[in-house]
A and B are shown apart, each in its own frame.
Chain A
Amino acid sequence: MKDTIAAISTSLGVGAISIVRVSGEEAISIVNNVFTGKDLTKVESHTIHYGFIKDNEELIDEVLVTVMKSPKTFTTEDIVEINCHGGIISTNRILETLLTHGARLAEAGEFTKRAFLNGRIDLTQAEAVMDLIESKSDKARRQALGQLNGRVSNYIENLREKIKDLLASIEVNIDYPEYYDIEVVTIDKIKKVSQELIKELEQLEKEAKNGRIIKEGIKTVIIGRPNVGKSSLLNSLLEQEKAIVTDIEGTTRDIVEGSISIEGVHLNMIDTAGIRKTDDKIEKIGVEKSISLMDDANLILLVLNSGEELTIQDKELLEKVDKNKTIVVLNKNDLDTSLKIEDFKDYYVVSTNTKEKEGISSLKQKIKELFNLEKLEEKDATYLSSARQIALVKETKKAVEDALTGINNDLPVDMITIDLKHAFDLLGEIIGQEYSEEIMDHLFANFCVGK
């Protein structure tokens, strides 16, 4: 049985359409599992279908999916191509989702290799295929190494050490069963270490998200009651007139995007319709969208009019937002001030005057603090960035979870080690480590056994 492979087959760039290609026996069923739309296992060959790619219940992107069945395809295997919107984030996430649903990331040149091995490509092209594998894998290797910085690989190396320690201790119990001075690794100990590992892997996943933020920008929404100065705040930040600023409530209906750079990190600004109870149909759509955007956003700028007492709507918003990613902006401080910074102790808060362009730099400073941007730069932050790495971390977590399930089902230690060894190998894959006798070396270095 051959693996089903997946890869992004267009170069990544904002704006263009990206294609994620999947090839192999399970290509159609794997894509179908993450696709909302028609049942792809029942469609005709060489047809295109509209729908969404989802990760669990979360929609990732609106896509067109091309289903091509064996043998009339490039590789002669079943192929599915997912045409998506081209952003790095969504394309990577689609790939990631496929990798966690049973596809394997294609090696360099692997689609072409399969095409050749399956007799699809002319023999005279064999050399070209070999050239391709060589040059691409070389590039891939360099890229993979370049993508991982010291901090992340140290982190992974530490996790591996932990598993290595645990495995070597279990293995020594197994291969040298009658060494009474050597501590017998109890199930409780394995459980404890596994639980720690899961926590740390979760942390790593979170870091991966931060990594995405840095690479792909901080998704920022500006919210607030109508006419508190959201658009002017946006404009002050953008320093250009992209949104229409008026004194009439409800003039901003469309979501306006723009981008500014703080410490080299992009802040992707999304202006929203003012949130208020409205019967205006067009505006209602805008309001609903704003609320859903709040959940999605990495940063919320909640704008309040510092000249007015808090309204019920303001209070609702203050309750609704996630404090960890919200900055309260007290705007229009040229008028009498009713709201003071001291009143918002629980929140990150700044005061601005957007008309006079005051307070903008302290807002930027606040954002820097919130995202630790200065620190990130100091650390020359790189992160788990590729879909492959993220998928491997997820798989590792799954393997450790399997080990825990085994423990909870009272399985003997030899079964538990299968999952732990798998986790160890997966982490090795992330950092390009594949030395197979490591655990044994560790065992002999740390335990005194012998005749």
Chain B
Amino acid sequence: MKYEVIVVGGGHAGCEASLAAARKKHKTLLVTGNIKNIADMPCNPSIGGPAKGVVVREIDALGGEMGRNADKGALQMKMLNTKKGPAVQALRAQEDKIIYPKEMLKTLKGQKNLDIKESLVEDLIVENNKIVGVVLEDGTKIFCDAVILTTGTYLKSSILRGDTKVSEGPHGERPSKFLSDTLRNLGFTILRLKTGTPPRIEKSSIDFSKTSKEEGDEIPHTFSYENKVYYDVDVQEPCHLIYTKEETHKIINENLEKSSMYGGYVEGVGPRYCPSIEDKVVRFKDKERHQLFLEPESKYYNDIYIQGFSTSMPIDVQEKMVHSLPGLENAKILKYAYAIEYDAIDARQLKQSLETKLIENLFTAGQINGTSGYEEAAGQGLIAGINASLKLEEKEPLILKRNESYIGVLIDDLVTKGVKDPYRLLTSRAEYRLLLRHDNADLRLREYGYQVGLISEETYQDFLKKKENIKTLKEILQTEKITPKKEVNEYLKKIPTAELKDGMTLYSLLKRPEIKIEHIKHFIEIPYDEDVCYQIEIACRYEGYIEKAEKEAEKMNSLENKKLADNLDYEKIPNLASEAKEKLMKIRPTSLGQASRISGVNPADISILMVYLRKRETNE
């Protein structure tokens, strides 16, 4: 039996990777330890949020599945940062942990060219530094042309609570015991990372009267550009807010040494931005309380997730900690919190396409690359799936630029800088977040999705129409003028906004902060939908900022377009600083732009590289 693409692992990265490859008509096999856990959400019951929500939109624009699937499983939706400006707005959904995986499995099962097999991959078959197949735990060999590893936290994972350490993955699943040794033997640097999850509480045991309610938005939202709303806006599941008490902190401080983290049982490096509750209490001693959200996990069962309360304390201490919380005095813990350690590879050993530099046609995506988060995993999975397919089709890989997408920022950060602790996307990681908005993901990426064959002709035509409409509307507003006639000024006065003294285009009028497209509709008919109008509003209102960002991005890209050959021997380039030589040899950037972002490579080194490249070009 031979496949073109084998995807190892059925998490969020694996789902996107296998769907992309299969949709691109490559015979694909998804191997996963437990089919029931496909697209599982082992930690928080939500998808989206700042930066992450934009990633979900980007996945949708490119033809991936996460956005559509999250729409199907939404329990509550909320647009965040609405008052902080268009650049940082993001959608977040509370997701049903039953519906999301179920719907994803349905999609996978219905996908042509895609088979699913339940097993663990424990070895890789490599010939001449090229991947040719995988070996399953029972010794079965399956041959293929490309492999995408999306193993999540399952490489040699251990679950820790207090001084107990068990070799297993989330939900007590079996970990892959030998695959990371195979990778090490192939030359990969293996990192040990750590993350954790809070306890789950039985809903009926919580006294919600001591909590405050957090509701979803009153208007419906969707991640996907398909705009199909599956949930009832009037019947959304609320979250509830509580705070830790002095008693909670006391219990934690008294038992600190019993936690895996402070007891010295953890080898892995945990994420800075996701500290456990004991970390928070220790590091922020002055804080009297920490906020916690009680989040519903599903309509179909009673578990409540305590966001903000992840811990590696032994279970008896967890009981005490939970019972010290307001409303949880009599709470029943259904699942105890734990810390999890797992192996990952150094992502600097990857190309921007997510193909490994060491083994041809071997790709990796998700937590194995040192990231954290469902959205980060899915974004990489999609790109790995696309690029593995393009490689088999002998086409150039799809490499998204930093000014085009958060996915591009994510991958470039990973392969250029590597990680020390699990990597989470933040809006502040993007230089030009004004360009990477929630609202324009399709305008940025749909073209690519169509080119690689993941966007249908019909969807693409709709998209082109939208682009055309935006252009036309802009032209209309830039040519249509209003004059200081009495009725015009009376209307403006009512809004209220300054009256006219001279004629003015509607586009200039729209530049005023108090003017909305609704006001413009008073003067001319605008037969376009909200989405088109919104694009114009943003383009018009923030024109100066957008132009500046685009100009800066263009400058950055001029270096991005200067490619560096894979086989360049930096040692032999005279005048390069030795630190630069060493870093460049190790990371082997694909472009001068990437090279310039490597720490230790300074502008003079880039200048020298430019001159050297020019010299080589001319010689050839």
Q: Which residues of A contact B (CB under 8 A)?
A: 1, 3, 107-110, 113, 116-117, 123, 126-127, 129-131, 133-134, 137-138, 171, 173-181, 409-415, 418, 435, 439-440, 443-444, 448-451
Contacts and interface: CB of A to CB of B under 8 A. Distances in A.
Interface string B520-543: 000000000000000000000010
Given A178-B214, A440-B428, A444-B273, 7 more contacts: A107-B604, A133-B607, A137-B607, A175-B426, A177-B84, A415-B434, A415-B545
B572 interface: no
B513 A409 contact: yes
A451 B575 contact: no
B615 A123 contact: yes
A126 B84 contact: no
Contacts of A179: 291
A18 B274 CA distance: 58
A445 B312 CA distance: 21
B485 interface: no
A133 B81 contact: no
Interface string B577-620: 00000000000000000000001001110011011101100110
A175 B274 CA distance: 13
Contacts of B554: 1
B568 to A, nearest CB: 15
B241 A180 contact: yes
A174 B434 contact: no
Contacts of B44: 451
B87 interface: yes
Interface residues of B, number: 65
Contacts of A109: 607
Nearest to B214: A178
Nearest to B197: A451
Interface in B28-67: 43-44, 50-51
B187 interface: no
The 7 closest A-B pairs by CB, nearest first: A412-B85, A414-B85, A137-B604, A414-B87, A450-B274, A126-B615, A134-B575
B614 A117 contact: yes
A123 B280 CA distance: 60
B84 A174 contact: yes
Nearest to A170: B84
B607 A414 contact: no
A175 B428 contact: yes
Interface of B: 43-44, 50-51, 80-81, 83-88, 196-198, 214, 241, 243, 271-276, 279-280, 283-284, 287, 289-291, 293, 307-308, 310, 426-429, 433-434, 513, 542, 545, 548-549, 551, 554-555, 574-575, 599, 602-604, 607-608, 610-612, 614-615, 618-619
Given A130-B611, A175-B426, A180-B291, A414 B604 contact: no
B283 A412 contact: no
B434 A414 contact: yes
A449 B88 CA distance: 18
Contacts of B50: 174-177
24 contacts: A108-B604, A109-B607, A116-B614, A117-B610, A123-B619, A126-B612, A127-B574, A130-B611, A133-B611, A137-B604, A171-B428, A174-B84, A177-B50, A180-B241, A409-B513, A411-B542, A414-B433, A435-B599, A448-B275, A448-B280, A448-B287, A449-B273, A450-B279, A450-B310
Contacts of B198: 451
Contact of A415 (B85, B272, B279, B610): B85
Contact of A440 (B426, B542, B551): B426
A404 to B, nearest CB: 15
A134 B578 CA distance: 12
